[in-house]
Amino acid sequence: METIRQEGSLTTPRVLLDPVQGLIELKGKSIPENSFEFYEPLYEWLAEYSEEPQEKTTVVLAMEYFNTSSSKEFMRFFQRLEDLHKSKKTSITIQWFHEIDDEEMMEMGESLKREVEIPIEIVAIDEI
């Protein structure tokens, strides 16, 4: 299984999917024209990773902004992570980073924390 690195753009986040480290990282903005098309490779990678995951998996999300279609894809992604977490093949932790003055992103992290059964650490930082 390969590591996937994808640089971010003005409309898509930087992506790092590292099966050796058990690391899934998304950083930046997510406003692609077709959210499903952008996130489908991530789902495919996660399905393959789910077959033989690391003992611990860390998901790092540091989003400046995402649109409604991206939020729907995030929920699909989190449902798949939750299924993997419940399978007990790996222990998943999500780190949700938001800028100190971005109350909306902080609230989205808090909302996510209530909706999924995965430990979520919400961290305020100076800049994403």
Residues 14-32: tens digit of each pLDDT: 999 999 999 999 999 999 9
Residues 98-125: tens digit of each pLDDT: 999 999 999 999 998 898 899 999 999 9
Residues 6+ apart with CB under 8 A from 110: 122
Is pLDDT above 90 for 88? Answer: yes
Q: Homologous superfamily of 4-125 in CATH?
A: STAS domain (3.30.750.24)
Strand pairing class (56-66; 91-99): parallel
Is pLDDT above 90 for 128? Answer: no
Proportion of the chain above pLDDT 70, given as a percent: 100
Q: Is 114 exposed, middle or buried (0-12, 13-18, 19+ CB in 10 A)?
A: exposed
> What residues does each domain of the chain span?
4-125
